[in-house]
C-alpha cells in the first residue's frame, strides 16, 4: 500500500498512530512481536496490518501532479 | 425480568468488560449490536478541497479523514441526530456540522508528514481528532494541501466510520465438569488445553474456568469421558472496545438507551394495532 491504513481492515481498530513507533523500534533491531505486544496490538488481524505493510509513498513523494 | 447483577471485570481508557448475571442473551446481543450500529459519534462526512498537490488523490485523503475518530462525548448532547440533518447544508448549520480545517505546505527540499493532529477545529474545539499522530499524507517538496472538513453525527449502520466500538462481543463463560470417579489423572486433557485452564495438582484435576475458551479439545481427548465442558446458563461477558470517539462506558449507556427507546417504539406501534383491531 502507498501509506499505512488508519484502521485495521478487519476489526476497525485505530492503528495508524502506532505505525511510526513500530517502524522505528523494529529498525533498532527489536522483534516485531515484542513491539506489537508493547503497543497493545492484541488481535492477529491488526498485527498482520503492521507485519505485512510496505510503505510505498516515499517512492512517489517527489513527483507532483500537475494541477 | 427478575434479579440481575452486573460486575465490572475490566475497565480502562479503551475497553470495558462487564459480567452480566440474570440478563437474557437476546438483550445483551441487542446491546452489543446497538453499540456497533446505533450509538452515534462524530465523523468527517464532507471534505472540500481547496488545494491538493500531494501524491494521494482527494478521495483517498477524504476517506482517511473520515476514518479518524473524533472526540464525541460532548458532541452527543450538542448536535442534532443524523436523521434531522439529512437535508442540511454542511456550511450552514452549526447544529448539525462541526467544521475543521487542514492546511500544510512544504519548501523546495522538504518532505513532511501531515498528521491527524494537524486537522484543526474551526467551529467547535471539542470536536477534534481522538489521536494526534495518525499520518494522513506525506508531502514531498513544494507540495501543498488545503481543505475544509465537515463532521456530523452518524451511526454505524450508515458507515462503519461512525461506529464507536471497534470490538463489541458477548461471550459465554465456561463451565468445566470433571467426574472424579472416572478421571484417572492421565493428564491428556492438560496437555491438549491451549489456555492452561487445566492442571493436575496433587491428585486432583484442577480447573480454571475463566481461562477456558470452550474449545472442547479436552473432551475429545479424554479416554474415560470424565470431563465435559459447557457454558454457564445465565452468565455472559460483554466486551466493548472504543474507537476513541466515546468513553467505553458511555457506549454501554448510550446503547442501553437506544435499545430501550426501540422497545418503547415497538410497544407503541403494537398498541396502535391492537386499538385499531378492537375498533374493527
Ligand atoms: S475446553 Fe479447551 S480451553 Fe477449555 S479446558 Fe478444555 S481444552 Fe482447555
Ligand atoms: S484426560 Fe480425562 S482422565 Fe485424563 S486427566 Fe483429563 S479428565 Fe482425567
Ligand atoms: Zn484488527
Length of chain B: 280
Distance from Cα B235 to the centre of ligand 2, integer Å: 26
- B280: confidence class by pLDDT, cuts 50, 70, 90: low
Mean of the per-residue pLDDT values for chain B?
A: 94
Kindly list the structural domains of chain A, giving each domain's residue range(s) and its CATH number in brackets, ordered by start.
Answer: 1-67 (1.10.10.60)
CATH number at residue B114: 2.170.120.12
Nearest CA to ligand 2 atom 6: B189
Distance from Cα B206 to the centre of ligand 2, integer Å: 11
**What whole-number distance in Å separates Cα of residue B148 and Cα of residue B167?**
30
The set of long-range contacts for A4-8, using a CB threshold of 8 Å and a minimum separation of 24, is A4/A49, A4/A53, A4/A55, A4/B135, A5/A49, A5/A53, A6/B64, A6/B67, A6/B68, A6/B134, A7/B67, A7/B166, A8/A43, A8/A45, A8/A46, A8/A49, A8/B166
**What whole-number distance in Å separates Cα of residue B151 and Cα of residue B70?**
9
To the nearest 10 degrees (0 to 180), the angle between helices A19-27 and A32-39 is: 150
**What whole-number distance in Å separates Cα of residue B262 and Cα of residue B240?**
21
Is residue A61 predicted with pLDDT exceeding 90?
A: no
In B108-135, which positions are buried (b, 16+ CB within 10 angstroms) versus exposed (e)? eeeebebbbebbebeebeebbbbbeebb
Q: What residue numbers bound the domain in which B218 lies?
A: 5-37+166-241
B243: phi then psi, degrees, rounded to nearest 5 = -75, -10
Which chain A residues have a beta carbon less than 8 Å from that of B53? Answer: 64-65, 67
Is residue A66 predicted with pLDDT exceeding 80?
A: no
Q: What is the pLDDT of residue B156?
A: 96
Mutate to test the pocket of ligand 1, among B183, B198, B210, B222 (most ligand atoms within 8 A of CB): B198
| Closest of B110, B257, A43, B106 to residue B118, by C-alpha | B106
Task: Give percent of chain B above pLDDT 90.
Answer: 90
Least confident of B110-119, B156-165, B271-280: B271-280
Q: Which atom of ligand 2 is nearest to the CA of B184?
A: 3
State which of B130, B162, B194 marks the end of a domain: B162
Q: What is the pLDDT of residue A2?
A: 87
Question: Any CB–CB contact under 8 A between B183 and chain A?
Answer: no
On whether residue B78 sits in a domain, the answer given is yes
Q: Give me B59's grid cell.
A: 478521495
The CB-side HSE value for B64 (13 A sphere, CA atoms) comes to 24
On whether residue B278 sits in a domain, the answer given is no
Question: Any CB–CB contact under 8 A between B53 and chain A?
Answer: yes
Q: Give me A51's grid cell.
A: 507485519
Q: What is the pLDDT of residue B1?
A: 56
pLDDT tens readout for residues B23-67: 999 999 999 999 999 999 999 999 999 999 999 999 999 999 999
Do B244 and A14 contact (CB within 8 A), yes or no?
A: yes
Contact between chains at A17 and B132 (C-beta distance less than 8 A): yes
Arithmetic mean of pLDDT, A10-35: 96
On whether residue B92 sits in a domain, the answer given is yes
Task: Give percent of chain B above pLDDT 70.
Answer: 99
Contact between chains at B55 and A2 (C-beta distance less than 8 A): yes
Arithmetic mean of pLDDT, B229-238: 94
Is residue A67 predicted with pLDDT exceeding 70?
A: no
Q: What is the pLDDT of residue B92?
A: 83
Domain count, chain B: 2
Distance from Cα B234 to the centre of ligand 1, integer Å: 20
- A3: confidence class by pLDDT, cuts 50, 70, 90: very high
Arithmetic mean of pLDDT, B77-96: 91
Binding-site positions of B read: 212, 215, 218
Location of C-alpha cell 492438560: B190
State which of B162, B188, B221 marks the end of a domain: B162
pLDDT tens readout for residues B255-271: 999 999 999 999 999 99
Q: What is the pLDDT of residue B42?
A: 97
- A65: confidence class by pLDDT, cuts 50, 70, 90: low
Q: B198 with B214, same domain?
A: yes
Q: B49 with B33, same domain?
A: no
B161: phi then psi, degrees, rounded to nearest 5 = -60, -25
**CB contact set of B113 (below 8 Å; sequence gap of 6+):** B135, B137, B138, B139
Question: Quick one: DSSP state of residue A14?
Answer: B
Q: What is the pLDDT of residue A21?
A: 96
More confident residue, B109 or A37: A37
Q: Which atom of ligand 1 is nearest to the CA of B227?
A: 6
Contact between chains at B243 and A12 (C-beta distance less than 8 A): yes
On whether residue B275 sits in a domain, the answer given is no
Q: What is the pLDDT of residue B276?
A: 87
Q: Nearest CA to CA, how far is B95 from chain A (Å)? A: 28
Amino acid at each position: 500500500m502507498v501509506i499505512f491504513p488508519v484502521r485495521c481492515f478487519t476489526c476497525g481498530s485505530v492503528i495508524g498512530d502506532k505505525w511510526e513507533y513500530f517502524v522505528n523500534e523494529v529498525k533498532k533491531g527489536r522483534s516485531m512481536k515484542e513491539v506489537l505486544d508493547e503497543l497493545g496490538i492484541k488481535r492477529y488481524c491488526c498485527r498482520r496490518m503492521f507485519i505485512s505493510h510496505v510503505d510505498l509513498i516515499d517512492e512517489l513523494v517527489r513527483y507532483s501532479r500537475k494541477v | 425480568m427478575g434479579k440481575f447483577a452486573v460486575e465490572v471485570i475490566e475497565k480502562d481508557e479503551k475497553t470495558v468488560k462487564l459480567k452480566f448475571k440474570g440478563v437474557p442473551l437476546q438483550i445483551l446481543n441487542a446491546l452489543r449490536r446497538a453499540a456497533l450500529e446505533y450509538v452515534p459519534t462524530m465523523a468527517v462526512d464532507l471534505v472540500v478541497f481547496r488545494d491538493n498537490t500531494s501524491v494521494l488523490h482527494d478521495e483517498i485523503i477524504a476517506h482517511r479523514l473520515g476514518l479518524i475518530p473524533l472526540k464525541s462525548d460532548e458532541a452527543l448532547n450538542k448536535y442534532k441526530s443524523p436523521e434531522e440533518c439529512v437535508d442540511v447544508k454542511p456550511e450552514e448549520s452549526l447544529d448539525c456540522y462541526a467544521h475543521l480545517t487542514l492546511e500544510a505546505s512544504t519548501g523546495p527540499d522538504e518532505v513532511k508528514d501531515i498528521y491527524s493532529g494537524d486537522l484543526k477545529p474551526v467551529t467547535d474545539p471539542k470536536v477534534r481528532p481522538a489521536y494526534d499522530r495518525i499520518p494522513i499524507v506525506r508531502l514531498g517538496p513544494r507540495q501543498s494541501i488545503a481543505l475544509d472538513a465537515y463532521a456530523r453525527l452518524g451511526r454505524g449502520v450508515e458507515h462503519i466510520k461512525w461506529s464507536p466500538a471497534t470490538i463489541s462481543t458477548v461471550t459465554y463463560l465456561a463451565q468445566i465438569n470433571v467426574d472424579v470417579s472416572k478421571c484417572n489423572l492421565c493428564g491428556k486433557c492438560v496437555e491438549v488445553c491451549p489456555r492452561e485452564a487445566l492442571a493436575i495438582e496433587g491428585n486432583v484435576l484442577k480447573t480454571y474456568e475463566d481461562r477456558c475458551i470452550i474449545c472442547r479439545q479436552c473432551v475429545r481427548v479424554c479416554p474415560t469421558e470424565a470431563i465435559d465442558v459447557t457454558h454457564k446458563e445465565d452468565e455472559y461477558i460483554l466486551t466493548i472496545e472504543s474507537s476513541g470517539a466515546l468513553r467505553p462506558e458511555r457506549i454501554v449507556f448510550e446503547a442501553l438507551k437506544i435499545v430501550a427507546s426501540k422497545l418503547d417504539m415497538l410497544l407503541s406501534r403494537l398498541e396502535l394495532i391492537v386499538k385499531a383491531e378492537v375498533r374493527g
